Structures are given as C-alpha cells and as structure tokens.
Amino acid sequence: MSRQRLHHYRIRFFRLLPRYVLLSFGLLVVAVPVVWIVLGSLKPGEVVLLSRGQWRPTRWIWSNYLDSWRALDFPRYTINSIVMTVTIVAGHLTLTSMAGYGFAKFRFPGQRGLFLFVLSTMMLPVQVTMVPLFVIMKTFGWVDTYQGLIVPLLVNAFGVFFMRQYMLSLPDDLLDAARIDGAGELQIFLRVVLPLSTSAMAGLGLLVGMGAWGEFLWPVIISQTEKLATLPLGLSYFQRFYGGTCPFHWLLAMSVVVTIPPVIAFLLAQRQLVESGALTGMK
C-alpha cells in the first residue's frame, strides 16, 4: 500500500471516528435496557430486582413466557390489539390518501386556510383533546365499545400532511392524460394515484401501526371493562391484579412478546419507510 493511500485512509478514519463514537454511544443507550429486559424475563421471579450487577441468569426460566401468557387474559388482549391496529391502519391510509390527494391536486376556495387549519391541530397536545373526545364518545354511546376505541384514532393531521407532500411529487401530466382518456376522478385515484403511492402508504402504515399497537392512554380512558383491553393495557394489569407482589419476571416476559411484532414490521418495511421519507421531502 502506497504512503499516499495510507495517509488518505488515516485522514478518513479520524474524520469518521467522532461519528462512530457517537453512534456507538447511542446504540449502547438504546441496547442496554433492551438486553436487561430480555435477560430479566428469563430469570426466576425472586431475583429479577435483587441481582445487582449480575445480568446473566443463573437459571434460564423459559417457562416465564408461557406462565405470563396464562396469568391474565392475554389472548383477548392480543385479539383486541390486532383488531385495533389493523382497522386503524386501513382506515388511516384510506382517509389520509384521499385528503392528501385533494389538497395536492385540486384547487378550491379556502384550500390554503383549510390545510393550515389541519396542520394547526398538530400543535395541540394529545392530553388537551382527550376530554372532549371522551365527552363526544359518551354522547354517541360509544364508551367501552370497539368504535369508541378505534374511530378517534382513524386519522390525524400528520398523515394528511405526509400524503399531501408525497402526492405533490406525482406528475400532473399523467393525471391529465388519464382524464383525456375518459377516466373519472375516482378511477384516477384508484388506478393511477394509489399504485404510484405504495411506498408512501407503506411507510405511513408502518408508523401508524406501531403507534396504534403501543397506544396506551386512549384505551385506558375509553375502556371501562377488561373486554376492550389491549396488550399495553394488559401489561399494566399485572400491577393492578397482583399489587405489591407484582411478578416482574412475567411482566418483562410479556413486554418482550409485545415488542416483537413492531420490530418484525419495521425490519420488513424499513426500505419503504426510507423511500417514502426521501420522496416526501422532495417538495
């Protein structure tokens, strides 16, 4: 290796070293709690909080996962989470893609003001809207029902903004060509716009699905009985039902189980998420 090339690699190494140090520190901060949870879920219950400095279990208790699954009604909680997540993702993508298309490709009186109003709702903390939402759900008689659990989460301003920004990048000439060929607006939306927006919808669907799967605050407010409890709410029931004798090894085991589906979904759809983010930022 020539001296010039060696000097080039040395300069490049010292230039990239701060980045790798920062990334390694960030990875350590994120990974340490995850490793502690996974290893803690495999320990006996009496030593989870007592084994200071000893991360590796002295006995690997794999039965913690099955015992924690049976400890509470987690099959029901899982079904509720799946129904809630799938319905919210499907409804969210349908409504936000239609709204985004309307804001991106149509001109109508008050369009700018209406879009700014939609964006302004992003500034409201979720805690501010929870009480009015609950009052509305109670008026409709939707408290402790699936529609009360799902409908308020079907759409938000971020999804409308996300789809609108992506659809701005779609060429108007393509839509005009479809109109010349005699296609109606609904046909254009279904046969032209949606097929070209699959990467954006996949990325948005991943974000919405992960948020819906881990939603805790709204199910706590709207559910009055255990029949509507989702997995995050079910985890809190360990403390509720067991009190001071909360089985932390079971709690950690179910926390690992609840985390697995979002991780798998992210690994499968991370390419679409990156592509949609890049294309959405074009305009």
Mean pLDDT is lowest, of 2-11, 174-183, 205-214, for 2-11
Residues 142 and 26 in one domain: no
Check pLDDT > 50 for residue 281. Answer: no
State what percent of residues in the chain have pLDDT above 70.
Answer: 92
Residues 175 and 213 in one domain: yes
Q: Cα–Cα distance between 184 and 143 in angstroms, integer?
A: 40
Question: What is the pLDDT averaged over residues 238-244?
Answer: 79
Structural domains of the chain, count: 2
Residue 53 inside a domain? The answer is no
Residue 47 inside a domain? The answer is no
Residue 57 inside a domain? The answer is no
What's the pLDDT score for residue 279? 56
Residues 146 and 217 in one domain: yes
Check pLDDT > 90 for residue 103. Answer: yes
Supply the pTM of this predicted model.
0.86
Q: Residue 13: which pLDDT band, with cuts at 50, 70 and 90?
A: confident
What's the pLDDT score for residue 2? 66
Give the residue numbers spanning the domain of 35: 3-40
Residues 35 and 101 in one domain: no
Residue 198 inside a domain? The answer is yes
Residues 97 and 151 in one domain: yes
What's the pLDDT score for residue 76? 94
Residue 194 inside a domain? The answer is yes
Tens digit of each residue's pLDDT (9 = 90 or more) over 46-69: 777 776 667 788 788 899 999 999
Check pLDDT > 90 for residue 80. Answer: yes
Residue 49 inside a domain? The answer is no
* CATH code of the domain in which 154 resides: 1.10.3720.10
Question: What is the pLDDT averaged over residues 83-102?
Answer: 95
Residue 240 inside a domain? The answer is yes
Tell me what the pLDDT averaged over the chain comes to. Answer: 87
From 119, 87, 90, 129, select the one nearest 218 (Cα to Cα).
129
Question: What is the pLDDT averaged over residues 255-273?
Answer: 86
Residue 55 inside a domain? The answer is no
What's the pLDDT score for residue 247? 86
Residues 248 and 117 in one domain: yes
Check pLDDT > 90 for residue 74. Answer: yes
What's the pLDDT score for residue 125? 85
Tens digit of each residue's pLDDT (9 = 90 or more) over 14-25: 788 888 889 899
Residues 36 and 119 in one domain: no
Q: Cα–Cα distance between 70 and 72 in angstroms, integer?
A: 6
Residues 115 and 159 in one domain: yes
